[in-house]
Structure 1
Amino acid sequence: MCLPLPGDCSLDLVDQVVDERQNGRHAARFRGWKAGWRARVQEYLDHGGSPEHIHPWAAVADYAATFHNLYNSSKPDTAHGDMLRRLRDHELRLCPACGELGRPNTLDHYLPKAAYPHFSLTPANLFPMCDACQGEKLVKTGSPAEPRFFLHPYFDAFAADQILKLTIIPPFNAPTFVLEPQGVTEAQAAVITAHLRELDISGRYVKFFKDEHRRLLRNVSRMRDKEQDVLATLESWAFDAADPTPNSWQHLFYDGVLVNPDFLEYLTEGDLPSYL
């Protein structure tokens, strides 16, 4: 899911954090870091956070705890504390990293703060993520063969479109589900494929799809008994599930149903299994 950049300017926040430290014991250290810190935040913005182009800052490696403590403390009435509260006070009802329904209750550092402590407080590096995704992502970024594993919700604008498709393979009473990229460039497809793999999204989707498939057969059986319009109902469900993103788990499932004429024929004319 594509998200708008946070309202807090990542560059301005550097200035504000440094200014707020000027009466503390690290005042001189933060003044010395300011120009380099701003330059690296600008580099982050220019390259969309890509670890292929952004490297750790050796000069602050020994002071990682200083940045981490700022993130962990989040004191009220400080620039970074107010920024973090605004990011956490979101209205998302699904995880932007995977599309699973449910309010994501943690903030993820796109570039992990362990290797990039100076981005601990960078708004453009922080976004809501569900616990399952965060547990899979951890501190991974990429590899020599795949420099970037993960989509960035602020910079990968193509994710505003439906970038995944679900293929439902018969037998339709116990189908196989295949999830893959669609409508993107080869380079975008490579990142999407890595994103799915590294967050175990395909494995998590399959469990959902199996449960949703069982519910679908139960509901369609009931609709047919009541002589209701099955196709119109499925189209309505798919339309509703596309908000706020066509990459939500529910929309991908019902889109996969609607683009599969053989499955639709099975649903409207076939012998459906009996479920209690």
Structure 2
Amino acid sequence: MMRLTEPLSFERAIEICITGITGNANFKRKVEGVKINLLAEGERYLEGSRNGALYLLAPVDLSHNPNPIVLNDLTKSDFVKLYETYFVPEEKPTREIYEKLLNSAKESCPFCGGIGTPRNLDHFLPKSHFPQFSILPSNLVPSCRDCNMDGKAAVFATQADHQVIQPYLDQERFFLDQWIFAQYKDGEMGEPGEFEYFVSAPADWPETDKRRAKKHFDDFNLARRYAVKAAQNLGTIMSQVKSLKLHGLTDQVICDTILVSGVSEAQFPNHWQRGLYQALILHFSE
């Protein structure tokens, strides 16, 4: 739901990773030997991401062997080792790639619309089931603790409408169109009101994408998390409204002066702030 800039090429990441494989010449030769097939797998991933078809990529078969051969003579554990031993450590040249990917989010988790702060990279398709993508930059997404995809390692989509939004490569509509809205309800007996966030995708969207948006919204618990953020800011906004009313300003003028600008200042179409101010505009316009 927050677009991230597409990272460097898979080929470049593989090349840099290979330079960091020291003290294990046999493993280095095996990785060099699998490069062409690995790049072909990467292209399948990129195409699937752009077309909403990642669910068509089959996971490795773990039913008979917990450590099967994945590509050429590299096993699942080899690909996990490639990531954990030769990609992540600070002394390896690929650590610079890791840091660039992490910093690309600018302290805002793309899955929850910037509520959380990313502390590590997570595998969009889990490396436990898709080890061939363990060092694919487009599969490594900065994520906050609450949105941690690796923490859901056994979970991946097996049908089109179960896919959450891929921050690097997914279709533009998820990032440019507004599909998260809110309504505001006054509190009773002078108590603060509350916000209810909900999904309402544009009518001309494909039905599958409407369900995908709702899936993303539900999986990352955005109704509650957005409502909490809105509630944290409500007191300040209502104090401003009260002060302006005491100075004789009408609800319409208040909407035009502080609420409309709040909508336009939201960082992106589905930011919690946009829904908050839209809901208050509707509330004060009734």
| Distance change >3 Å, CA 98–CA 81, structure 1 → 2 | same
With 184-193 and 28-37 compared, the bigger mean Cα shift is at 28-37
The aligned residue for residue 284 of structure 2 is: 264
With 177-186 and 22-31 compared, the bigger mean Cα shift is at 22-31
Q: What's the CA shift string for 1:60-103, capped at 9, x where partnerless? A: 22424422322332434x2x222112222336253221113464
Question: Could you tell me whether the CA contact under 8 Å between 1:136 and 1:198 is conserved in 2?
Answer: no
| Amino acid paired to 2:209 | Q
The aligned residue for residue 69 of structure 1 is: 85
The aligned residue for residue 30 of structure 1 is: 31
Q: What's the CA shift string for 1:140-191, capped at 9, x where partnerless? A: 5435466643101112222321432324154566355141132233211111
Question: Could you tell me whether the CA contact under 8 Å between 2:4 and 2:105 is conserved in 1?
Answer: no
Q: Distance in 2 between matches of 1:168 and 1:215?
A: 18
| Amino acid paired to 1:236 | S
Q: Does residue 236 of structure 1 match 2:261?
A: yes
Question: Could you tell me whether the CA contact under 8 Å between 2:123 and 2:150 is conserved in 1?
Answer: no
Gaps of 5+ in 1: 267-276
Q: Distance in 1 between matches of 2:276 and 2:269?
A: 10
**TM-score (normalised: structure 1):** 0.80
Offset at residue 132 of structure 1 (A): 1.8
Q: Distance in 2 between matches of 1:46 and 1:136?
A: 22
Q: Distance in 2 between matches of 1:163 and 1:64?
A: 38
**Corresponding residue pairs, total:** 258
> Alignment partner of 1:221: what SS?
helix
The aligned residue for residue 192 of structure 1 is: 213
The aligned residue for residue 204 of structure 1 is: 225
Q: 1:98 aligns with which of 112, 130, 135?
A: 112
The aligned residue for residue 63 of structure 2 is: none
The aligned residue for residue 183 of structure 2 is: 168
Q: 2:241 aligns with which of 214, 217, 220?
A: 220
| Distance change >3 Å, CA 35–CA 239, structure 1 → 2 | same
Question: Could you tell me whether the CA contact under 8 Å between 1:41 and 1:122 is conserved in 2?
Answer: yes
| Amino acid paired to 1:84 | Y
Q: Distance in 2 between matches of 1:132 and 1:144?
A: 23
Question: Could you tell me whether the CA contact under 8 Å between 1:11 and 1:42 is conserved in 2?
Answer: no
Question: Could you tell me whether the CA contact under 8 Å between 2:116 and 2:145 is conserved in 1?
Answer: no
Offset at residue 212 of structure 1 (A): 3.3
Question: Could you tell me whether the CA contact under 8 Å between 2:20 and 2:86 is conserved in 1?
Answer: no
Q: Distance in 2 between matches of 1:105 and 1:65?
A: 20
The aligned residue for residue 52 of structure 1 is: 55
Q: Does residue 17 of structure 1 match 2:17?
A: yes
Q: Distance in 2 between matches of 1:56 and 1:186?
A: 26
Percent identical pairs in the alignment equals: 18
| Distance change >3 Å, CA 253–CA 195, structure 1 → 2 | same
**CA-atom RMSD in angstroms:** 2.8
Q: Distance in 2 between matches of 1:160 and 1:43?
A: 23
